[in-house]
Amino acid sequence: MQFLNPGVLWLSLLAIIPIALYLFRRKSKVVDVSTLVFFKTLAREHQESAWLRRLKKIVSLILTLIMLLGVIFALSRLILSPLSEKSYRTIVVLLDRSASMGATDAEGRTRLDEARERIRTRLEAVPEDVGVALIGYDVRPEVIQPRTLKRRELLSRLGEISVRPVAGQTRAALDAAVVLARLETPALIWHVTDAGLVEAIAEPAPQAPAEPAAAPDSDPEAEADALASAEKAGLELPEGVSLETLDVALPAPINAGITAFQIRPVPLEHGRFEAFVQVGLNAAAPETVKGKLDVFLGGLLVQPREVELDPGERFGLVLKLEGAEDQLLRLRLTVPGDSLATDNEVLEPLPHSRPIVAAWVRPEEPAHGFRPDPYTEVALRAFIDDYEFEILAVKPDQWAGSREGVDVVIFDDCVPETWPEDLPVILLNPPGSAGPVRVVPTPAPVPHEAVRVGNDQHPVLFRVSSGRVSVTQTSVFDAAGSLEPLWIGNDEPLLAAGEVKGQRLVVMAFSPGRSDRLPLTASFPLLIGNALLWCAETAPGVMEKVTESPTGRVVPALGTQVTWTQWADGGLKTSTANLTGGLLELDRAGVWETDTGQRGAAHLLSRAETDLHPRDPAAAEQAATEMRTGLLSGNATWLFLVLVALVLLVESYLFHRHAVY
């Protein structure tokens, strides 16, 4: 037995008053009255024998003392079987608030709800003079409540904690808890999580834990259990600090979620996108599950997919999408019996683009002495109507003053006097060396009936039928360094692409007009278009770079306000927040946009949070034991209040049932 609030026990001295009244009661007096009518009704009570009246007085005194002491013991918070925390000066509650703590059971209770209940039950058995601190963590720890003796304040802050859609990082949180615990030792850390200690720490430290100092009146079994938990996780605990894990996971969870996602535009296909999606099922699922992956674009269902997942399996698929710019793409995964809804949704806008501005530099009289080649213009016109391009025809002597706003430049049958180092360049039929490319014209055109492909996976050769073309070589260039040969004829490069000092280059050492099977085929326009698109990928602002980051990250953001768009309660919800310091914490899943036009998307996409672990059987038994014995091992105030009520009932029955009013 132990009193958590022993300061009120001095009130037991009030028992002297009823004892004194019993010992020093006044003697009866004889008084003359005018009538005995009313006293006759009490005659039966006064006809009792003397020993019975004395016994009743003793019983009345005992009941009075019991009632008084019961009230005092209730105020002193007597516990009948205190927990081992009585031996510590500090308890640090390390509470997991990551996304997986939002998993619900059949009754709709989240893991965080159960964690709060476990913490409140255990705090009932903690003496008033033991300081308690509260730390909540997800990707980073946060001290919610420093060490305090005020239980109401601590419980109030505990009720304010909510689940955040962020992956958890337990190592940093445990380090923060150890730092806080070692300020007042001996100390105990309650690690309340649904992942278990071993599963929660990705990279356990190799050192063995140090033996904590034995505190007065300590519980050897409790300290041994705490030390064993630390040893299993490979943690190093300082002297006087112990660790205990409270597992609040579901007994047999089933959870499927989206674990990876990426979207990109399809080359040379305006308005078409490819999205890679990966879904997974937790390894602890009891059996194979079937579900649906619904794809919504602009609020309309466009692609319903069925998925079948085995426990622990991850399945990837590529979605072909066609939509307008700025439309919202929403993915929804539905699986029967799913415990966690946070990882079932992905929301991201389709990226928008602006027209690519290309400068086509060509002399009136070709340097090779051939007649003007019209096929490059035909190739440019073949796709300019279908894709967003703006072609500026420029003469070589006017090029220097016309480069403003240009994303990529094509030098057709000419080379610049001053090399543009800040722009991507396409050299078509170059007559000489230019910039980093060393070119030597051939004495005579060299026809190649076929070409050998160096890398058919390069974006410049996307959908180009290289095996059906023949070209006429007009120059030889050096493809050393980062230039990769794509077409080769007689061991000499005919087409090459690559980056030199961060500048993208495409070199075509042939004449389209003098080639037999190239200018009038579909391969040549595709080749020119692919080269333009590949070179323009590095141009600023051509394709929007939507900032895709996992939740919990802090990203640079320009502006003073940010607007979030999320899917909640069956519809899109928007909310605004202020930006300070040029940084934005991605504390929720959805699409964000600043007042300066910068925007991005935040997703959970965490395999660790999706892979829910079952509760350890030993931890489940411990929780059940705590719930069964919580009324006895915790605060016994209610027992004394019930005792006081029973005493009042007994006294009323024995002494006041014949009362006259």
Residues 93 and 645 sit within 8 Å (Cβ to Cβ): no
Under the banding of pLDDT at 50, 70 and 90, the label for residue 352 is: confident
157 burial via Cβ count (<10 Å: 0-12, 13-18, 19+): middle
Q: What is the mean pLDDT of residues 405-431?
A: 89
CA 234 – CA 238 distance, rounded (Å): 13
Q: Which string of b and e fits 578-611 if b means at least 16 CB within 10 Å?
A: ebeeeebbbbbbbbbbbeeebbbbbbbbbebbbb
- Identify residue 145 by its one-letter amino acid code: Q
Instruction: Tell me: pLDDT of 293 over 90.
Output: yes
Query: Tell me, what's the pLDDT at 38?
Result: 66
Instruction: Tell me: pLDDT of 228 over 50.
Output: no
Which of 121-130, 255-264, 298-307 has the lowest average pLDDT?
121-130
Closest CA to 493 of 444, 455, 536: 455
Under the banding of pLDDT at 50, 70 and 90, the label for residue 198 is: very low
Q: What is the mean pLDDT of residues 183-204?
A: 73
Q: Please state, in angstroms and as integers, the Cα–Cα distance from residue 383 to each residue in 202, 388, 469, 529, following that order.
A: 52, 9, 20, 7
CA 531 – CA 519 distance, rounded (Å): 16
State the pairing for strand pair 345-349/328-334: antiparallel
- Length reported for the chain: 661
Query: Can you list the alpha helix ranges (DSSP code H) found in 354-497?
Result: 375-384
Q: Please state, in angstroms and as integers, the Cα–Cα distance from residue 444 to each residue in 373, 493, 510, 565, following that order.
A: 17, 17, 12, 63
Mean of pLDDT over the chain: 81
When the candidates are 3.30.420.40, 1.10.238.10, 3.40.50.880, 3.30.160.250, the CATH number that belongs to 356-536 is 3.40.50.880
Instruction: Tell me: pLDDT of 197 over 50.
Output: yes
Give the percent of the chain with pLDDT over 90.
32
Under the banding of pLDDT at 50, 70 and 90, the label for residue 158 is: very high
What residues does CATH 3.40.50.880 cover in the chain? Answer: 356-536
Under the banding of pLDDT at 50, 70 and 90, the label for residue 475 is: very high
Higher pLDDT, 89 or 60: 89
Q: What is the mean pLDDT of residues 629-642?
A: 59
When the candidates are 3.40.50.720, 3.20.190.10, 3.40.50.410, 3.40.47.10, the CATH number that belongs to 84-251+613-635 is 3.40.50.410
Query: Tell me, what's the pLDDT at 234?
Result: 56
Phi-psi category of 46—alpha, beta or left, where left has phi over 0 and alpha has psi -120 to 50? alpha
Higher pLDDT, 380 or 87: 380
pLDDT in tens, 87-128: 788 999 999 999 999 999 989 999 999 999 999 988 887 877
Query: Tell me, what's the pLDDT at 17?
Result: 78
Query: Tell me, what's the pLDDT at 638?
Result: 64
Which of 207-216, 481-490, 592-601 has the lowest average pLDDT?
207-216
Instruction: Tell me: pLDDT of 479 over 80.
Output: no
Query: Tell me, what's the pLDDT at 47?
Result: 58
Under the banding of pLDDT at 50, 70 and 90, the label for residue 212 is: very low
Tokens of 491: 């061991």
Query: Tell me, what's the pLDDT at 269?
Result: 64
Query: Tell me, what's the pLDDT at 345?
Result: 92
pLDDT in tens, 500-559: 888 899 999 999 888 888 888 888 888 988 898 888 877 776 666 677 788 999 999 888
Please name the helix (run of DSSP H) or strand (run of DSSP E) that holds residue 323, with its range, or none.
Answer: none
DSSP-based three-state secondary structure for 360:
strand
Q: What is the mean pLDDT of residues 239-268?
A: 86
Instruction: Tell me: pLDDT of 635 over 60.
Output: no
Residues 136 and 101 sit within 8 Å (Cβ to Cβ): no
Under the banding of pLDDT at 50, 70 and 90, the label for residue 366 is: low
- Identify residue 410 by its one-letter amino acid code: I
DSSP 486-523: EEEETTEEEEEEEEETTEEEEEE-B-TTT-SSSTTSTH
Query: Tell me, what's the pLDDT at 480?
Result: 65
Please name the helix (run of DSSP H) or strand (run of DSSP E) that holds residue 448, with its range, or none.
Answer: strand 439-448
DSSP-based three-state secondary structure for 279:
strand
Which of 33-37, 101-105, 217-221, 408-412 has the lowest average pLDDT?
217-221
Furthest-apart CA atoms within the chain: distance in Å: 153
State CA 108 to chain mean position distance. 21
Q: What is the mean pLDDT of residues 405-425?
A: 89
Residues 6+ apart with CB under 8 A from 470: 447, 448, 449, 450, 451, 515, 516, 517, 518
Running DSSP on this structure, what letter comes out for residue 36? -
Strand partners, 453: 487
Running DSSP on this structure, what letter comes out for residue 424? -
Higher pLDDT, 354 or 311: 311
Query: Tell me, what's the pLDDT at 424?
Result: 92
Q: How many helices (H) and strands (E) does the chain have?
A: 14, 31
Query: Tell me, what's the pLDDT at 59?
Result: 79
Q: Which of 5-14, 69-78, 429-438 has the highest mean pLDDT?
A: 429-438
Query: Tell me, what's the pLDDT at 210?
Result: 36
Residues 323 and 271 sit within 8 Å (Cβ to Cβ): yes
Angle at 384 between CA 383 and CA 390, to 5 degrees: 145
Under the banding of pLDDT at 50, 70 and 90, the label for residue 205 is: very low
Query: Tell me, what's the pLDDT at 222?
Result: 46
Q: What is the mean pLDDT of residues 587-610?
A: 90
Instruction: Tell me: pLDDT of 607 over 50.
Output: yes
Query: Tell me, what's the pLDDT at 179?
Result: 92
CA 523 – CA 338 distance, rounded (Å): 50
pLDDT in tens, 30-57: 778 777 666 666 555 555 666 777 777 7
What residues does CATH 3.40.50.410 cover in the chain? Answer: 84-251+613-635
Tokens of 31: 């008084």
pLDDT in tens, 66-79: 887 777 777 776 66
Under the banding of pLDDT at 50, 70 and 90, the label for residue 325 is: low
